[in-house]
Every structure is written in C-alpha cells, then in structure tokens.
C-alpha cells in the first residue's frame, strides 16, 4: 500500500530586512514521528503567508506544528483540510490554529474562502480566541533532560477520538505554552470543534472536530516522546484512507 504523504506546516519567522533570517522553521521530531508511523513527511512552504493550494494537493494528511507565530496561511491550510476532509493533527500552535479558525468562521458566518482569510485574518486578533495565563510554561528554555518538570495532568473525555487512541482518560504530558485557547468558542453545537481534554486548572488541552472528519488538536507536545507514537500512527492510518 502506498505510504500517505503528511504535510508539515511550521511557523515562519519574518525579517524582510535580512533575507537569511526570513525563514520557515521545521522541528525534526515531527518528521521523525511521521516516518516511524509509516508516513512520508514533506514541508509546506508559504513564503510571506502566500497560501498555495497546489502544495496542499500533494498531502494526504496535515500536521500543524508548534511555534510562536500563527499566520493566515495556517488558517488557509486548515480550511483546505476541512473542505477536503484531510486528516489533521495540530500541536500547540496547531491546536490554537483550530481555535483561530473557529473564531474566524463565526465572525464571517461561515462564509469564507482563501482570499477572505488572507486579507482579513490578522495576528493582532489573537486576543479574541487566545488568552495568556501563567503556569503552563515551566521550562524556558526547554531541555529534554528536564521534560518531566514540564508535564502535567490532561483529563480526557472518554467519548473522543483521542481516548480511542490512548485508552486512558488521564495523561501526563509535556505542555509548554503561554497562550491558551478560549473554551467559550466551543460551547455551541454549531461549533466545528469541541473540547475533549483539559488540564486540572481547566485550560483547554485537546480540541477535536465534532463530525467524522479526523481533526485533533493537542496543546501538549506528543512529538517529544516515543509513548505517543500511536497518535501519529492514527493520523497516518486516517490519511491512508483519503481517496484523491
């Protein structure tokens, strides 16, 4: 069976005055996990946030990885995945992309396209779907030898896609972030996503699609440990079902 291609969308660093610092930065652990899970990782490049559908057409699945900057290309890529029902795993910033997409869709009554997203989605609007809270970024800078210090309890809904994978409603995961998703975005049945995992202090740690589209976002970092390989295996499995 042909291995599914998993596109990795990473955050960008902008420095137009220094072209060598104007970069897309990929974390090797994501491509490593995808390969271990049986997929083929490829990097998605949208210079200056210019979204390209042709790149997305190469993908059977999508990983939106963590990082400091959420741009319009993240929202466009998630919109493409939603329209084509491409499986998605969002990690940290990737889960926050789902929150941003939920907010943006509601602001535009669901009437959006790539052009509307590119022209109207702004990094400065994150206050409407994210908020800051101390206590969830205990290691800065992060060192793998200190990973246990970064872990906390994640409580899962047993009726969820992620519970099907872990078969446990309590996880202990490294979660390193200053911004949190606003839970009130997902409290309506009309919402595209729902919350299926929280920390002990009620911070959103897992978001999933409500329907049969396989889209899971986690605030924690599963790419850091081998024990989370089954999450990537499920993404690859779901991606192998895509009929292009």
pTM, whole model, 2 decimals?
A: 0.94
Query: Which tokens sit at 217?
Result: 């976002």
Using an 8 Å Cβ cutoff, are 107 and 132 in contact? no
Dist CA 224 CA 226 (whole Å): 7
CA distances from 110 to 36, 89, 122, 192 (A): 37, 22, 17, 10
- Selection from 91, 98, 89, 99 nearest residue 67 by Cα: 91
Q: What is the pLDDT along the chain (244 residues), one digit of tens a residue?
A: 689 999 999 988 878 888 888 888 899 999 999 999 999 999 999 988 999 999 999 999 999 998 877 899 999 999 999 999 999 999 999 999 999 999 999 999 889 999 999 999 998 899 999 998 776 776 666 788 888 887 889 999 999 999 999 999 999 998 887 888 999 999 877 899 999 999 998 999 999 999 999 999 999 999 999 999 999 999 999 999 877 6
pLDDT of residue 124: 87
**For residue 157, how many other CB atoms are within 10 A of its CB?**
16
Query: Which tokens sit at 163?
Result: 């519970």
- Selection from 137, 139, 135 nearest residue 200 by Cα: 135
* Residue 195 phi, psi (nearest 5): -85, 125
Residue 133: strand, helix, or coil: coil
Domains of the chain, earliest start first: 5-239 (3.40.50.880)
pLDDT of residue 225: 93
Residue 187: strand, helix, or coil: coil
* Residue 211 phi, psi (nearest 5): -100, -160
Q: How far, rounded to the nearest angstrom, does the alpha carbon of residue 199 sit from its chain's CA centroid?
A: 17
CA distances from 89 to 12, 14, 25, 213, 223 (A): 18, 25, 18, 12, 11
Using an 8 Å Cβ cutoff, are 120 and 91 in contact? no
Tell me the pairing of strands 193-199 and 151-156: antiparallel
Dist CA 36 CA 30 (whole Å): 10
């Amino acid at each position: 069976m042909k291995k599914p291609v998993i596109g990795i969308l990473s955050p960008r660093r902008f420095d137009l005055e220094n072209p060598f610092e104007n970069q897309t930065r990929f974390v090797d652990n994501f491509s490593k996990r995808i390969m271990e899970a049986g997929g083929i990782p490829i990097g998605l490049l949208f210079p200056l946030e210019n979204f390209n559908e042709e790149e997305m057409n190469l993908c059977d699945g999508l990983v939106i990885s963590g990082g400091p900057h959420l741009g319009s290309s993240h929202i466009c890529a998630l919109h493409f995945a939603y329209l084509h029902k491409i499986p998605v795993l969002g990690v940290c910033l990737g889960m926050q992309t789902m929150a941003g997409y939920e907010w943006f869709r509601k602001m535009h009554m669901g009437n959006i396209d790539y052009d509307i997203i590119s022209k109207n989605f702004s990094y400065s609007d994150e206050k409407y779907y994210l908020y800051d809270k101390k206590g969830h970024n205990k290691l800065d800078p992060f060192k793998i030898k200190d990973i246990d210090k970064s872990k906390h309890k994640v409580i899962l809904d047993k009726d969820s896609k992620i519970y099907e994978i872990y078969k446990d409603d309590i996880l202990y995961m490294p979660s390193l972030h200053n911004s949190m998703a606003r839970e009130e975005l997902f409290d309506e049945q009309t919402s595209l996503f729902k919350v299926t995992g929280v920390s002990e202090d009620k911070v959103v740690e897992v978001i999933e699609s409500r329907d049969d589209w396989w889209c899971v976002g986690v605030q924690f970092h599963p790419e850091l440990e081998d024990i989370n390989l089954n999450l990537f295996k499920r993404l690859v499995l779901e991606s192998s079902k895509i009929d292009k």
